[in-house]
Structure 1
């Protein structure tokens, strides 16, 4: 017995030692790729020594002799901190994920190959201005210099992820940066899904569609009126908005949908006498964040703000004279065209001139641990052909037809990168506006502020549609009809533009900005009708603003939607009688209604009311839609406030949605609201207990900043994923979009990955923050060091003062031209 015990002890000790040794070995190899921010390197491709100074927030400040050297150093810094992220972005747009991840990414690769974004980016390199081509080439050399150092100095393959996926790291090319910008355009676009879903819904009942998405009438909101003209109460309701009886669908929460806030105040509306600008572009939350902060000291001056690893431009930020912020414009720059196949020859499609052959080529997708897959890529005059398996195209594609995509970004002479770099170098609003001339996609509202004033203009190409076009771009159209084909793009001068408004405030929350008839309309499907109400109120509550008031507006968590909907859906449910017995569903309902009756709509993470409200309206919409739409209702994952408001105000007879079609009695909207509340409370009590007052919105509304690859591994996910309790919601300025799916439908999956507030009365008092940290390495202290600041609504300084950057710098990397040190000796 004693002998057996000794052997068991020896085995246990041996296993423990082996486990510890394995962990030490894993840590050793993973830590080899941790960047060392203090060091000297000899590199090829620069003209003179340069410095990368990392400030206390690990933001690189780049100083070089020429602009090309500065771009080189930015590429070096991006690769040093985010090489894995850059590689995955590139593989995504190239359609080469399956080489690494196997069969589960074949569908994505196939779509990217069909769109040919990378091929178009390759062609676009020659279309850039010569100085931008030099910038792209220098940036690529900087990335490759770091890859070379990783290989020559055994720096852990550049990132720990590469040990799990042992694929070769290809050297960076100028086309890679252009391709990533096109990928961002694709991720910001939802018009394909909107068209398809609208078409599917139109097959059921166009009246239902009108309720789900009423046309947003009125002039739109961009430039606010003077402070004195503020009406006593900013309207909180859009429920009575009407429109043509067309088959509308709501804006569906698409996988890549985009949103943002940006606004500016002229010096006349600023307490300190200088223009103010605030911006927080919303993206899918991830670890690391999509955004990366950087400062470049160009010959035109310093510029600082948010970049995307892989792209050599500050996309949102400021220089000494101009600040700019971006929001998704929701421009309708995509159309689905139905192409008829020749019954006698499926290799030809119908065109205005007769039957025409597809432009066809084969593409081989290499798949890890599986056989390669060959796909046939086809293009028509209207664009690439998409299979029915993507975007639910099959149900709306007639027999003997295929669907092709027309999209402004499918352009081999796209000069968006040139436009972005011009904006970065602009000194005035006029120069900034002029920089947008060549921008194609993604369409963005660009809010600008300089020392003298403010402006907002839409960057992005608008399709030239025929006024007689079928469906006006809201539904798939017949590709062979001349009136459905696009002509030359609309001139840039047609893009919405607002300069120095008399009210001194301009901004956008993805809301409707302008009211113009088709085809100069921009879009029929705007991204917001809710946040703009709260923004208008906050901007007009005070005559002058400050950096602090702009920060407070960015962080505002009051939901105008909750303030509007709760009085409607709970109008006949507020508790007025005797208390029901403890432990009964009636008592649970009374307790919940009692809390909501005193609630002001603040989606605060520490309160139970936001959770009750969110669960109630979600359950209510499910009951309203499931009966009529059946499985199609699963496509509508986010709550549609205009729809619920129309139903409960019975606009145009919309209260008919409350009646359950399969039952004999005629249910009222009050009954449906009560049943939905009971549904919600039952679900919440099963997960959080029956004590309503102990529930917390933040427990359900955690920011899901997960590592897209390592975050799925059972043990590693506890190390690499960043989960935090957060305030805000779908319709608050401090937006935290709920997932709407799975067992945790209230998780925060999309929000302000970057926040910046710029004050031109004191530019160095400007501030910014990103949602995670600068480093993409999970073992780095800069992997998540900003995440808690971001969650608490704090910021770090944004200064262009070199002395401040060097003060207490975390490290200085010096790059020397190869051979210079030897020559000096």
Structure 2
């Protein structure tokens, strides 16, 4: 007993010492939100007020000082995120995560992002404000690296801090641009369908009935008065930071609002992660002001507003990436055929450093169209050389000037000039201002191919007949400026015609766009609160119609009692995804079984890729209304041709049998909250166990589903559980009749530092559809409890 008591006392002491050590460590790693710090290269003192959610309000005498401060503050809250972001495009994740990330590094290292960055940086104007302020921002980041506390993650994975350069910023641009691209996943699949199954199968996938499109219409006025006073599928799944996916935005003109001023909304959809994607900050100098949302390691905000104007983005989803089949010289595999004869591939040797392993080296062949992707993209299994032609690396990159220009515009026309310089990724740029102007610009280098040629399957690289004929002038891009219907919107849906026909792309189905238009057309007296509520809307505009088309094929007389009850639940569902609703659970399982019965026999291993693609989403309303389709027949059953009715009935019965086994025999118990969840995963928290508990935020129940306005994106699979992987990365509502009380929210918190009180303080508000204020009122800002003074260092 004496020994046991002594042992327990020692154990208690050790536990107390450990707790004290962890507490002390947390305090030393905590970001500095108050007090005084000295920074080099400041010409004047900078005062930073941190508001109740940790947003820094930077008050400086000039922009150079402001951006030095921003770089330092951004790094102290998000250095680990910056580190991951800069490593992706450079192919350097294996250095810290080991051999499991080698294939990701090979893929990104082969895309040519680094080579394009080198070329762009060599030609930059070093006297431009965008360049000078970027260097100031980098200076602030690097001062934190030299003098600030090392984030816990660096210690856990054994990463040494390195200085950041302009190339790191361009690598982030490259990663961001590629994560918008869709063609790298779908073009190989469509080519496989065409070449293995035939044109009849492909035609049904690509043909879209216009009745299932909500088209973003073009409208351009004769004159604008607007002066402003300037105050890859599995590979992408393995990424430790967020790829970009979709988005919503709508801007209401003065005639549509109760207070007679523009109201602006934007919620970009991005893969969930911890920390959240956006870093909020507010910069104010005597001649400049912007409240911005910045991606890690980017000095200028891609989303922002001030008292004069607001802007935001959604993904355009135009086709900016094509694959070309090259023809090797039969006598020399290092040469390929062109219209001018054989030409030597450019050879790029790449070395990947792998943690606790030997370095690995690989070689990339590059044709005139781009890098040969065989072996770099897993689902490019073609024996022919397949080169990827990506507009981002093919044309001059002006994104640094673009992002600077968005935040520093002096008029709407000035803003439009910046937007016109976007080449890739294609973006819908949304705009609203205090002078009652609203606008939507589809911004990208659109192009034309020869008549009748589809860019959605592989092109012929040797013939010279499948090349881009021309890049279209920006003035021909679809856009709407102060349209007569008094609002603009974007939900990644089909844009209006270009040169007389709809421009090809990988647009999302009409679901969210249709719902947005339905709600906006209902009235002309919207308030900020109405728009805030609308961002949390979870009613599908299209699912009830899809269900109706499917249920027409089900003979109720052959159903059991529980099957008839499930039939009735679906039949009477209005498409709203609430936690206690039963219909979403039945519908999503029914949908999975329907897609499986329809497509899996033909697609085989490509089935999972297809059913979670934009292609499937867009073809679904067409397919459910086809009585005759080549896809109905199950090619595995000989001497029998299945009909639509057989496919639907089999799918319905299988889905209900699955749900009874999964959730019990009582249909009323099949509520949506039992099968859907969301967790905001940290790169290290993905390892599970205590690391998951410590770093991740969640899991939580949630409302919403795929392609509703509150878009909670998940994959359909065999499990019957729906783990949300992406959704609104922020929700912003800016009311120019009450600009100082504009609203925003992000999924977790402002800081990526686990020991910060702002690590996850916004999570519950976000899940509940609530908002916090984006402060612009100087008196309110100066009342902040946390004030940090940055002084010039001698």
TM-score (norm 2): 0.91
Q: Is the 8 A contact 2:30 2:756 kept in 1?
A: yes
**Alpha-carbon displacement from aligned partner over 1:329-379 (angstroms, at most 9, x marks no partner):** 011111111222222222222222211122223222111111111112332
Question: Pick from 396, 406, 431: which aligns with 1:423?
Answer: 406
CA distance in 1, matches of 2:644, 2:13: 66
Q: Is the 8 A contact 2:214 2:494 kept in 1?
A: yes
**Alpha-carbon displacement from aligned partner over 1:67-116 (angstroms, at most 9, x marks no partner):** 11111111111101111011011111221111111111111111222123
1:569-580, aligned counterparts within 5 Å? 569-571=550-552, 573=554
Q: How many residues align?
A: 768
SS in 2 for 1:747: strand
Query: Does 1:210 pair with 2:192?
Result: no
CA distance in 1, matches of 2:686, 2:758: 18
Query: Does 1:689 pair with 2:664?
Result: yes
TM-superposed CA distance for 1:32, in Å, is 2.4
1:125-136, aligned counterparts within 5 Å? 125=121, 126-127=123-124, 130-136=128-134
Counterpart in 1 of 2:765?
Answer: 789
SS in 2 for 1:523: coil
Counterpart in 2 of 1:197?
Answer: 189
Residue 342 to residue 268, structure 1, CA distance change in 2 (3 Å): same
Counterpart in 2 of 1:546?
Answer: 527
TM-superposed CA distance for 1:130, in Å, is 1.0
Q: Is the 8 A contact 2:405 2:418 kept in 1?
A: yes
1:528-677, aligned counterparts within 5 Å? 528-571=509-552, 573=554, 586-638=560-612, 640-650=616-626, 653-654=628-629, 657=632, 661-662=636-637, 667-677=642-652
Question: Pick from 53, 58, 62: which aligns with 2:58?
Answer: 62
Question: Pick from 256, 266, 272: which aligns with 1:269?
Answer: 256
TM-superposed CA distance for 1:6, in Å, is 6.4
SS in 2 for 1:387: coil
Query: Does 1:766 pair with 2:742?
Result: yes
**Alpha-carbon displacement from aligned partner over 1:454-506 (angstroms, at most 9, x marks no partner):** 111122222x44425x8332211122322323355322222222111111111
CA distance in 2, matches of 1:11, 1:175: 57
Question: Pick from 147, 151, 167: which aligns with 1:175?
Answer: 167
SS in 2 for 1:793: coil
**Alpha-carbon displacement from aligned partner over 1:661-717 (angstroms, at most 9, x marks no partner):** 506555443443333233223333333333322333133221231112223231121
Q: Please say which of residues 385-394 and 181-190 is displaced more in the overlay.
A: 385-394
CA distance in 2, matches of 1:575, 1:215: 31
1:292-371, aligned counterparts within 5 Å? 292-298=279-285, 300-371=287-358
Q: Is the 8 A contact 2:78 2:752 kept in 1?
A: yes
CA distance in 2, matches of 1:617, 1:562: 10
TM-superposed CA distance for 1:802, in Å, is 1.9
Q: Is the 8 A contact 1:30 1:160 kept in 2?
A: no
TM-superposed CA distance for 1:541, in Å, is 1.1
SS in 2 for 1:72: helix
Q: Is the 8 A contact 2:209 2:622 kept in 1?
A: no
SS in 2 for 1:657: coil
Q: Please say which of residues 434-443 and 685-694 is displaced more in the overlay.
A: 685-694
Residue 522 to residue 297, structure 1, CA distance change in 2 (3 Å): farther
CA distance in 1, matches of 2:514, 2:658: 31
Q: Is the 8 A contact 1:755 1:768 kept in 2?
A: yes
Q: Is the 8 A contact 1:185 1:441 kept in 2?
A: yes
CA distance in 2, matches of 1:412, 1:816: 42
Question: Pick from 698, 701, 705: which aligns with 2:673?
Answer: 698
TM-superposed CA distance for 1:307, in Å, is 1.3
SS in 2 for 1:211: helix
Residue 815 to residue 671, structure 1, CA distance change in 2 (3 Å): same
CA distance in 2, matches of 1:641, 1:176: 35
Q: Is the 8 A contact 1:182 1:441 kept in 2?
A: no
CA distance in 2, matches of 1:215, 1:677: 25
Counterpart in 2 of 1:710?
Answer: 685
Residue 389 to residue 424, structure 1, CA distance change in 2 (3 Å): closer
CA distance in 1, matches of 2:77, 2:649: 52
Q: Please say which of residues 368-377 and 692-701 is displaced more in the overlay.
A: 692-701
TM-superposed CA distance for 1:751, in Å, is 0.5
CA distance in 1, matches of 2:426, 2:288: 27
**Alpha-carbon displacement from aligned partner over 1:125-158 (angstroms, at most 9, x marks no partner):** 34357101101100000111111222xxxx3x1x
Counterpart in 2 of 1:284?
Answer: 271
SS in 1 for 2:453: helix
SS in 1 for 2:611: coil
1:744-759, aligned counterparts within 5 Å? 745-759=721-735
Counterpart in 1 of 2:787?
Answer: 812
Q: Is the 8 A contact 1:100 1:368 kept in 2?
A: yes
Q: Please say which of residues 439-448 and 737-746 is displaced more in the overlay.
A: 737-746
CA distance in 1, matches of 2:760, 2:681: 11
Residue 480 to residue 758, structure 1, CA distance change in 2 (3 Å): same
Counterpart in 2 of 1:145?
Answer: 143
SS in 2 for 1:812: strand
Counterpart in 2 of 1:409?
Answer: 392
Q: Is the 8 A contact 1:37 1:810 kept in 2?
A: no
Q: Is the 8 A contact 2:34 2:788 kept in 1?
A: yes
Residue 718 to residue 663, structure 1, CA distance change in 2 (3 Å): farther
Question: Pick from 483, 492, 499: which aligns with 2:465?
Answer: 483
Counterpart in 2 of 1:382?
Answer: 369
Question: How large is the RMSD of aligned CA atoms in angstroms?
Answer: 2.7
CA distance in 1, matches of 2:791, 2:748: 31
Counterpart in 2 of 1:441?
Answer: 424
SS in 2 for 1:736: coil
CA distance in 2, matches of 1:752, 1:797: 17
**Alpha-carbon displacement from aligned partner over 1:518-571 (angstroms, at most 9, x marks no partner):** 9x8542431232211111111111133222222232211001232111112123
Q: Is the 8 A contact 2:218 2:478 kept in 1?
A: no
Counterpart in 2 of 1:472?
Answer: 454
Q: Is the 8 A contact 2:218 2:479 kept in 1?
A: no
SS in 1 for 2:348: strand
CA distance in 2, matches of 1:604, 1:188: 29
Question: Pick from 72, 90, 97: which aligns with 1:94?
Answer: 90
TM-superposed CA distance for 1:21, in Å, is 4.5
CA distance in 2, matches of 1:210, 1:354: 34
Q: Is the 8 A contact 1:253 1:637 kept in 2?
A: no
CA distance in 1, matches of 2:182, 2:144: 36
CA distance in 2, matches of 1:691, 1:13: 53
CA distance in 2, matches of 1:37, 1:688: 48
Residue 649 to residue 485, structure 1, CA distance change in 2 (3 Å): closer
TM-score (norm 1): 0.88
Query: Does 1:82 pair with 2:78?
Result: yes
Structure 2 unpaired stretches of 5+: 220-232, 238-242
CA distance in 2, matches of 1:127, 1:692: 63
Q: Is the 8 A contact 2:255 2:524 kept in 1?
A: no
**Alpha-carbon displacement from aligned partner over 1:377-403 (angstroms, at most 9, x marks no partner):** 3322211222334151123x43xxx22
Q: Is the 8 A contact 1:224 1:506 kept in 2?
A: no
**Alpha-carbon displacement from aligned partner over 1:245-272 (angstroms, at most 9, x marks no partner):** xxxxxx9997546211111111122211
CA distance in 2, matches of 1:216, 1:370: 53
Counterpart in 1 of 2:227?
Answer: none
**Alpha-carbon displacement from aligned partner over 1:593-616 (angstroms, at most 9, x marks no partner):** 233333221111222221111111
Counterpart in 2 of 1:801?
Answer: 777
CA distance in 1, matches of 2:787, 2:455: 53
Question: Pick from 484, 495, 515: which aligns with 2:477?
Answer: 495
